[in-house]
């Protein structure tokens, strides 16, 4: 824990009373009150290292063959126009006074179809009450893509293109979309809501803000005919879509692709096995 919020300059933060207002009363913003908590950032406060000409060298161009087009996104959900009690992920963010969004990617030709799936499944709606009962919170059927406003831009020749509401990514021909997502989440895992809640910072913040951590853990329920599966919603991260957090996300994707192309077999194969779909081991394929 430090006494900084979004300031990474290292300068001492002006003394404030814990829980004091940052926004006017009635504001819909998530970070409404001040706490001496340093929210995590994906891959830290600096960009992952990569040379400016990384995608212009012969080492990359001679090996890169374009494959599937995927769409990386930040999504949020919150208020329902006809139900004030439906607050979704925005309500969780307001309780924590922290910026939270879902980060992932999809290869669907129309990315909005992914939103329809998230809304149908009510991704992240399941949690535990303070009494220890499983419940489904309202507002998790209003997922929308967020506008991304990076400070900088992708490297020259990068397979990443910034769209208004996402990042268009051209994967290498031999990098599958599920494996790409797995590597992306592996690099961002320390910034996920679930991991943070179990960290010393997360435990201390929830104690300071008088929040039962069980009510913040998120799960999703997936129906398979007559059966249901409950899974941890592990794609919720501390993320600000209109800051240099977007630049860090771009660089994470660039590093994954550059390493895969230039290192080849030196990169471990991180095959994705969906146990929820009944796949238990390699031999099941």
Residues 62 and 229: their CA atoms lie apart, in Å, by 44
Residues 180 and 170: their CA atoms lie apart, in Å, by 11
Contact 222, 123 (CB under 8 A): no
DSSP-assigned letter for residue 264: G
Three-state SS at 5:
coil
Separation of CA 198 from chain center: 17
DSSP 147-163: PP--SS-PPTT-SEEEE
Per-residue pLDDT of 161-200, as tens digits, reads 999 899 999 999 999 999 999 999 999 998 999 999 999 9
Greatest CA separation found in the chain? 60
DSSP-assigned letter for residue 191: G
Separation of CA 206 from chain center: 20
| Average pLDDT of the residues in 7-33 | 71
Predicted confidence band of residue 229 (pLDDT cuts 50, 70, 90): confident
Q: What is the pLDDT of residue 230?
A: 82
Examine the pLDDT at 13 and tell me if it is beyond 60: no
Domain spans, the chain: 58-272
Q: What is the pLDDT of residue 236?
A: 96
Q: What is the pLDDT of residue 197?
A: 95
pTM to 2 decimal places: 0.84
Predicted confidence band of residue 275 (pLDDT cuts 50, 70, 90): low
Where residue 225 falls (left for φ over 0; alpha for ψ -120 to 50; beta otherwise) is left
- Residue from 168, 186, 19, 181 nearest 96 by CA: 19
111 strand-pairing partners: none
Q: What is the pLDDT of residue 124?
A: 95
Q: What are phi and psi of 136, to 5 degrees?
A: -110, 115
Question: What separation in angstroms does the CA of 112 have from each of 13, 73, 131, 145, 165?
Answer: 41, 11, 37, 8, 11
Per-residue pLDDT of 86-104, as tens digits, reads 789 999 999 999 999 999 9
Per-residue pLDDT of 60-90, as tens digits, reads 999 999 999 999 999 999 877 777 777 899 9
Helix (H), strand (E) at residue 170: strand 166-172
CA torsion through residues 194, 165, 27, 124, sign: negative
């Amino acid at each position: 824990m430090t006494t900084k919020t979004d300031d990474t300059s290292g300068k001492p933060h002006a003394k404030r009373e814990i829980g004091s207002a940052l926004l006017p009363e009635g504001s819909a913003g998530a970070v409404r009150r001040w706490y001496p908590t340093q929210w995590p950032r994906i891959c830290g406060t600096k960009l992952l290292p990569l040379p400016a000409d990384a995608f212009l060298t012969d080492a990359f161009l001679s090996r890169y063959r374009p494959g599937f087009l995927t769409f990386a996104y930040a999504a949020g959900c919150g208020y329902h126009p006809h139900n004030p009690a439906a607050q979704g992920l925005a309500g969780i963010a307001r309780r924590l006074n922290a910026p939270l969004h879902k980060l992932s990617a999809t290869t669907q030709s129309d990315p909005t179809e992914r939103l329809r799936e998230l809304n149908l499944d009510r991704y992240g709606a399941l949690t535990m009450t303070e009494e220890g009962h499983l419940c489904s919170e309202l507002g998790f059927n209003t997922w929308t893509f967020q506008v991304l406003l990076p400070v900088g831009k992708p490297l020259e020749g990068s397979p990443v293109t910034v769209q208004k509401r996402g990042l268009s990514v051209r994967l290498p021909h031999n990098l599958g979309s599920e494996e790409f997502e797995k590597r992306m989440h592996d690099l961002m895992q320390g910034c996920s809501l679930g991991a943070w809640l179990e960290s010393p910072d997360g435990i201390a913040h929830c104690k300071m803000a008088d929040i039962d951590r069980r009510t913040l853990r998120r799960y999703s329920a997936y129906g398979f005919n007559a059966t249901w599966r409950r899974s941890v919603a592990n794609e919720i991260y501390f993320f600000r879509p209109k800051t240099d957090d977007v630049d860090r996300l771009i660089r994470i994707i660039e590093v994954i692709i550059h390493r895969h192309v230039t290192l080849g077999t030196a990169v471990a194969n991180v095959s994705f096995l969906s146990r929820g779909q009944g796949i238990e081991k390699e031999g099941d394929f």
